[in-house]
Chains A and B, each alone.
Chain A
């Protein structure tokens, strides 16, 4: 995973709450067996509407999405994160994220910056009044800066550290493989196995 320290890019105001992962990428686009190419399904239904924000050339090259509360609800599909990243997004700003989406983002390298809804409203206004405005997100300082707006965002310490170091979770866990093996010795004998019974 690439290290993430700061990012500056065009902000995209998505004035919607409850953006579920079926909206981010509908199920019919989930059939690929790779991690790339999912940008074609990003917001597929909404992109057919010519007034949708990403269809405005001023925002088309955006990389910082600013969305309403409860972003990423519903299905656990990590394809939603891949679709955003494949399109070019590096940061999503919202006042509340769904748990699974946020976890997936942290694993895949997409920063989810949680701010107060008032800050979302300020950013929306700025980005709508001045399309193409750049937003700078500083993960080290946990700050967002755009125009005259500066605000802080929340991200947990562990995810921040992993993103800044670009660390692979599995590698980290396997450093403690001895603990896993030791734990396995203590599991009750009655716990089920998936193999056919009797084998």
Chain B
């Protein structure tokens, strides 16, 4: 029977199917971090249960870690990280701790080691697990009770998802990136539009994206309410994986590629819903509100809540503008920021850093702006330093930091002060997300870097040419 990509991966992992029950799905890879795992390990201890498959489980330290050298000074954060270390030791789970060459944000580490592969089921107690769907894996975030369930059984009982095709056809204009695609998708379908669905991103504009750009797109599927986003694997995927530490080799590689090549939606399969987006019409996109669906093209103005659809939308927009300290009608390009953050599991990979570095190379960060550049993993940091990107950033006046979740969420020392405004390459502009009272505009790495230079929301096209000596 004709099937979509998501249905194929689902069906290949059904351990048990019974009338009136959710399917029991096998989980190929379980990623852990310090915030959502301690209560799960506690549950195992109380019930006297072991971790069923430590060899399919991997932990990193990311949410609480400071991005400046030295130990964690906040005692509560330190306890959480130390608890993860004790739990991993006790239950035999491999851990990449702070200071390790493999440490980093959990969703950057999995792919870069080649652990994330097509056709797998991948879970983590973190909603941005959708990132791994870029490889044609079915990957989604879970809560702590489910983390405990996977640790104990390597399975999850799940109600089948519906499927939605996001067709992005055509060619992106210069300066328009994966981040702009996904922000436009979320603005189109809304923060609840993907609820109950797995999104499959398709079309020529998606095919043309690099693996890292595909990860950026899939990463924010959750911001449209979808638990997972997927992209069918192709030569781009195979080229990325080949030679990575955990990628198959020899005859295993050939067998894997033969299987992976089948992982595409059949021509006669149908989706439960479809959305079409014309890539050529997209421009740099920024958010103006307090949820990721409240966004607009950079060339537009802050919208007027009174001209929105229903009462709930009006009320949400009014309250968002109030929190953000914005007035309807203000051109988005005139909004001045205090902080620019480049990093996170959305945009903290090497291509993101290269893109931002290309913009600030030979330029200066505006005096009124503090710019933080935080690699997504220790390996990304090392690679960037080999390419001299750290020097490009520091010469421009930006801060070059150690790997971690950093300013994506107000859990470690990198935070906005109340009332401070940021242009951020992260994924959430919720009230207080980057620190109590902080105001967030979500942007691409290109827009972030250009904004750092001009001091107001900008794209590279707004910058004067760099004078060459």
On A, residues with C-beta under 8 Å from B are 15-18, 20, 22-23, 26-28, 30-35, 45, 68-70, 73-79, 81, 96, 98-100, 103-104, 107-108, 117, 156-158, 169-170, 172-174, 176-177, 179-180, 183-184, 187-197
List 13 interface pairs A-B (beta carbons < 8 Å), by A numbering.
A16-B316, A23-B432, A70-B195, A74-B222, A99-B195, A99-B196, A158-B20, A177-B153, A188-B255, A188-B259, A190-B256, A194-B55, A194-B58
Kindly state the separation between the CA atoms of A54 and B380 in the bound complex, as whole angstroms. 45
Taking a contact as CB atoms closer than 8 A, the residue among B24, B256, B316, B436 that contacts A179 in the complex is B24
Say yes or no for B36: interface residue by CB 8 A criterion: yes
A143 to chain B, nearest CB (A): 22
Measured in the bound complex, the distance between the Cα atoms of B227 and A32 in whole Å is: 26
Q: In the assembled complex, which residues on chain A have CB atoms less than 8 Å from the CB atom of B39?
A: 33-35, 78
Q: In the complex the two chains form, is B56's CB within 8 Å of A170's CB?
A: no
| Bound-state Cα–Cα, A107 to B52, Å | 20
CB-defined contacts of B428 to chain A, threshold 8 Å: 20, 22, 74-75
Complex Cα distance A187/B316, Å? Answer: 48
Q: Are A189 and B252 in contact (CB under 8 A)?
A: yes
B255 to chain A: closest CB distance in Å? 6
Task: Find residues 145-190 in chain B having any chain A CB closer than 8 Å to their own CB.
Answer: 145-146, 148-149, 152-155, 157, 159
The answer on a CB contact under 8 Å between A107 and B411 is no
Which partner residue on chain B sits nearest A107 by CB separation? B145
Partner of A20, one of B16, B195, B430: B430
Q: Which residue of chain B is the closest to A182 with respect to CB atoms?
A: B15
Return B230 CB to nearest CB of chain A, in Å: 16
B256 and A188 within 8 A (CB): yes
B120 touches A76 (CB 8 A): no
A74 touches which of B29, B56, B127 (Cβ 8 Å): B127
Whether A33 and B192, one on each chain, are in contact in the complex, defined by CB atoms closer than 8 angstroms, is: no
Query: Known: A31-B64, A195-B94. Contact between A74 and B49, CB under 8 A?
Result: no
Alpha-carbon distance between A188 and B252 when the two chains are bound, in angstroms: 9
Contact A157 B191 (CB under 8 A): no
Q: How far is the CA of A193 from the CA of B54 in the complex (A)?
A: 9
Verify if B465 is at the interface (C-beta below 8 Å from A).
no
Minimal beta-carbon separation of B416 from chain A (angstroms): 12
Given contacts A33-B38, A98-B225, contact A197 B79 (CB under 8 A): no
User: What is the CB-to-nearest-CB distance from B361 to chain A, in angstroms, rounded to a whole number?
Assistant: 33
> Nearest chain B CB to A165's CB is how many angstroms away?
14
Partner of B152, one of A157, A170, A191: A170
Across the two chains, which residue of chain A brings its CB closest to B313?
A17
4 A-B pairs besides A74-B223, A75-B428 with CB distance below 8 A are A28-B436, A100-B143, A108-B143, A180-B26
Q: Report the Cα distance A39→B90, complex, angstroms.
A: 30
Nearest opposing residue in chain B for A176, CB measure = B16
